[in-house]
Amino acid sequence: MNKYAFDLKLDVSLRVEAKSYAEAVKILREKLNCAEANFGAWDNGDPIEGEASLNYDPPKDDIYEVNGDPACACPGCGAIEGEPEWGTVGDGFDGYCPSCADKREEQTVEPESYTDRDVLEQRVNAMLDRELPNEPENTPHAWDFATGEDYVEIEAVTADDVLYGIASIPLDTPHAETIAETICNAHNKEIGQVPTERT
């Protein structure tokens, strides 16, 4: 029988008591440095033992819970839901803290601007830079749009099928779906994807 040693990357969930996100990361880096770990037992009852090391600073996006409540990091400013920096005045929206949600609402282009394709294209590109984290895995793999009750949403789809809403066109804008389809097809053509078609 041979004994093989593997250098593995695992998905692990840990809860850390700390005063802040920065302190929590500091504790994780200190404690998960060739730390002895037990992963249960093999079929013969022997313990599954190994060493665990954290070789990067976990981004705020990795936080999914604070004090037992579901939480997330605001894509706009990085504030963590449930912490003081998130704020308590106003309502957040779509994962954004109240402050960033208000700013996004203020930056909404007036409906008449959507009739100008160049203006919309500029807005989509600006939103793309702001909405998608600057990581290779977040590079748009395809573009699509979805029609809701009030808006047509232009979405970037990453290679692992994560959807990012990039821009919303008011549904009462003339030819809203046609404009969205034109934008998506232009981007799909750039990355070699099949154009979006609606029947």
Per-residue confidence at 88, pLDDT binned at 50, 70, 90?
Answer: low
Residue 158 included in any domain: yes
Mean of pLDDT values over 59-64? 79
Q: Are residues 95 and 144 in the same domain?
A: no
Q: Are residues 184 and 118 in the same domain?
A: yes
* β-sheet with 163-170: strand ranges across: 140-147, 151-158, 163-170
- pLDDT at position 27: 93
Paired with 146 in beta bridges are 153
Paired with 153 in beta bridges are 146, 168
Predicted TM-score (pTM) of this structure: 0.45
Answer left, alpha or beta for residue 90, where phi above 0 means left and psi between -120 and 50 means alpha.
left
Residue 199 included in any domain: no
Q: Can you say whether the dihedral through the CA atoms of 148, 150, 154, 156 is positive or negative? A: negative
Mean of pLDDT values over 11-20? 88
Question: 96 with 117: CB under 8 angstroms?
Answer: no
Mean of pLDDT values over 134-156? 76
- pLDDT at position 110: 47
- pLDDT at position 195: 61
Q: Are residues 116 and 90 in the same domain?
A: no
Residue 12 included in any domain: yes
Domain that holds residue 125: 109-190
Q: Report how many domains make up the chain.
A: 3
Residue 86 included in any domain: yes
Residue 196 included in any domain: no
Rounded CA-CA distance 25/137 in Å is 23
Mean of pLDDT values over 68-80? 77
